[in-house]
Amino acid sequence: MNIEKTETLNIRSGEDIVRVRQNVRTKALAIGLSLVDQTRIITAASEIARNTLDYGGGGTVQVDIVSVSVRKGLRLIFNDTGPGIPDIARALEDGYTSGGGMGLGLSGAKRLCSEFDIRSEVGKGTTVTLIRWK
Amino acid sequence: MEQIPILKIGDCLLVSIQVDMHDRMALALQDDLTNKIVTSRARGVMIDISALEIVDSFIGRMLNNIAAMSRVLDAVTVVVGMRPAVAITLVELGLALTGVRTALNVDRGLALIRKIIDEQDGAGVLDEYREN
Amino acid sequence: MARSKALLQGVLDKNADPLVARWVELQRKALKSGQLEASELESQSKKFVKALQSAVVSGDIESINTPAWAEVRDLLEEVTRARALQGFSPSETATFVFALKEPLFEYLRRECGKDADKLADEIMTASTLLDQIGLYTTEMYQKSREQIIQRQQEEMMELSTPVVQLWRGILALPLIGTLDSARTQIVMENLLQEIVKTEAEIAIIDITGVPTVDTLVAQHLLKTVEAARLMGADCLISGIRPQIAQTLVHLGVELNVVSKATMADALSLSFRRIGKVVIDRKTKKESGISESAAD
């Protein structure tokens, strides 16, 4: 996988979540994602960015335009140094929430992506990677 | 902080969300609307989201909450103008918004609100005989 | 091992014209007649030798992925893409590069005279270089073919999505043929777009022409019905065949939507929903569409 363009944004406030959405939107347009796919990846980004802020205590997102052969994609890597997730399998279930949300953040975002990966270590933090291929 | 304007037309409140709202703004709108339903004795609330490019679970929850709260306050909420891509994404996200009534556009939304209010108040009753 | 490029450079400088002539001749032998205009082949070959010349002078001959080789790479891309589009086979496309070996080696041999060691070295150098160029051509060929396939797939998707308007406010989507996940998705997106465009309150998805439905497709159907509801429109499904009904029940997929046996029944229900009636002119009686169709 080639990385054609990369940019890192901070997630420290509610306004930052809006900025992440807008950044992802610009890049999704740039690689020519279909309208529905654009909406999917922006929505997924919004969900995970909110998790990063609310549960991870803030962090960063790296927004990459990637390619494999002629296929282009958008990859988002969210990083926080928060408390981590003790039971990832449970966190990925629909309806599970440790905060006041509807518990759709992780599982919902996963359904909106082509590829989804989550790694977490209790006490160290969480990394969530999303890819949407064209 | 920016605020979303709430317009009153007859016994309906109209909100048209034109900006990408951050979370605090959405919460503020929810508060404002509930207050306004009570103070204006509105029977219908129409939320136009045709300008929204995405609705994530936070905004979805706000729409659900507004619908539920307005029901308690004897008003009906109709969400209008949701874009196809947004609707598909919401379904995939797992948010069915089952408690929210919907319509294609503002015109249809108003008609739907009228119809629901009439049904609630007993269809066929002449306006002048209606309580209130 | 760093290779010397002096001799290769010299050969290209001194013998460019006869080299091109012989190369073109060999290429024409390898290709079927009429596949390519002679003049086009000649100009391509001339341009290539020229680009090769300047790349050898200024660049590293061990890797053609360096900036000095950009012109050569561009030319290869252009030639390969054109051939892929014209339906050349991979070997016919690669001939462009590999036919250059014979004349090039011949001139190298003349330069080296009787020095066998030197000749072996030089041929090794040139051969490695041409192999790299050949592989690059193959990669480009593959890439072009992928692009062609991708484009054709997109075109096919566009062809297979007719949404028709049955009445003001009523749309129909007659689905025909096997539905795979990708096609269903595009068809459904189109339907939702059309609902917005025509301000339709009701959309009928007719699956009479669909032989089988798997879980994934059934889920897409359901998703569409839900999405349409979020937008403020109702979806009806008509024409579910007995086998499909059985499959759905076996799969445990519950189609939690209004379904009607035929499109006519669905249309009749749609009329009622939007407050329209169909009147039989002879008896002046209101009639459902399915009854009048049975006359």
Check residues C59 and B35 and name the one with the higher pLDDT: B35
**Statement: residue C192 has pLDDT above 90:** yes
Q: Is A102 on the interface with C (CB under 8 A)?
A: no
- Strands laid side by side in the A71-80 sheet: A2-11, A59-68, A71-80, A125-133, A115-121
Residue type for position C188: M
**Statement: residue B132 has pLDDT above 50:** no
pLDDT at B127: 53
What structural domains and CATH numbers belong to chain C?
6-150 (1.10.490.130), 164-294 (3.30.750.24)
* Domain boundary assignment for chain B: 6-129
pLDDT at A10: 96
What's the rounded Cα separation, in Å, for the pair B100 and C230?
8
Q: In whole numbers, what is the pLDDT of chain B averaged over residues? A: 90
Q: Is B93 on the interface with A (CB under 8 A)?
A: yes
What's the rounded Cα separation, in Å, for the pair B13 and B47?
8
Helices C70-85, C90-98: crossing angle, 10 deg rounding: 150
pLDDT at B124: 55
Query: Which residue's entry shows tokens 């919401």?
Result: B90
ipTM of the complex: 0.89
pLDDT at A99: 56
Tell me the backbone φ, ψ of residue B17, rounded to 5 degrees. -85, 115
Band (pLDDT 50/70/90 cuts) for residue C283 is confident
Band (pLDDT 50/70/90 cuts) for residue A98 is low
pLDDT at C295: 39
Check residues C268 and C244 and name the one with the higher pLDDT: C268
For residue C68, the 8-state DSSP code is: G
- Test C143 with A36 for CB contact under 8 angstroms: no
Mean pLDDT on B101-107: 95
What's the rounded Cα separation, in Å, for the pair C264 and C271?
11
pLDDT at C158: 66
pLDDT at B84: 96
Band (pLDDT 50/70/90 cuts) for residue A14 is very high
Task: Name which of B80-89, B114-123, C33-42 the model is least confident about.
Answer: C33-42
pLDDT digit string, tens, across residues C237-267: 999 888 888 887 887 777 678 889 999 999 9
Token readout for B78 is 């109709």
Task: Name which of A103-107, A128-132, B43-47, C91-95 the model is least confident about.
Answer: A103-107
pLDDT at C2: 45
Mean pLDDT on A65-69: 91
pLDDT over 70 for what percent of chain C? 94
Provide the residue range defining the domain that includes A54.
Answer: 2-133
Tell me the C-alpha to C-alpha distance, in Å, between residue C23 and each of B100, B118, C30, C92, C135: 74, 87, 11, 14, 19
CB pairs under 8 A between A and C: 7
Chain C residues with beta carbon closer than 8 angstroms to that of A36? 189
**Statement: residue C104 has pLDDT above 70:** yes
Count the Cβ atoms, other than its own, within 10 Å of residue B34.
18
The CATH number linked to A79 is: 3.30.565.10
**Statement: residue B126 has pLDDT above 70:** no
Q: What does the buried/exposed string (b/e) look like for C208-243 if buried means 16 or more CB atoms within 10 Å of the residue's CB?
A: eebeebeeebbebbbbbbbbbbbbbbbbbbbbbeee
Check residues C213 and A132 and name the one with the higher pLDDT: A132
Contact C287, C279 (CB under 8 A): yes
Chain B closest-CA separation from residue A22 CA (Å): 9
Mean pLDDT on C7-28: 86
- B interface with C, Cβ–Cβ < 8 A, is 79-80, 82-88, 90-92, 96-97, 102-105, 108-109
pLDDT digit string, tens, across residues C116-154: 888 888 888 888 888 999 999 999 999 888 888 888 877
Which chain A residue is nearest to residue B55, measuring alpha carbons?
A43
**Statement: residue C176 has pLDDT above 90:** no
The hierarchical CATH code for the domain B6-129 is 3.30.750.24
Band (pLDDT 50/70/90 cuts) for residue C292 is very low
Check residues C234 and C32 and name the one with the higher pLDDT: C234
Chain B closest-CA separation from residue A18 CA (Å): 6
* Nearest Cα to Cα of residue C174 among C243, C266, C242: C266
Band (pLDDT 50/70/90 cuts) for residue C61 is confident
Check residues B72 and B131 and name the one with the higher pLDDT: B72
pLDDT at C7: 82
> In which element (H, E) is residue C47 found?
helix C38-58
- Test B82 with C229 for CB contact under 8 angstroms: no
Chain A residues with beta carbon closer than 8 angstroms to that of C150? 70
Which distant-in-sequence residues (6+ apart) come within 8 Å of B124 by Cβ?
none
* Nearest Cα to Cα of residue B49 among B17, B75, B73, B27: B17
Count the Cβ atoms, other than its own, within 10 Å of residue A68.
10
Q: Is B86 on the interface with A (CB under 8 A)?
A: yes
pLDDT digit string, tens, across residues A76-87: 999 999 998 888
Number of domains in chain A: 1
Q: In whole numbers, what is the pLDDT of chain A averaged over residues? A: 90
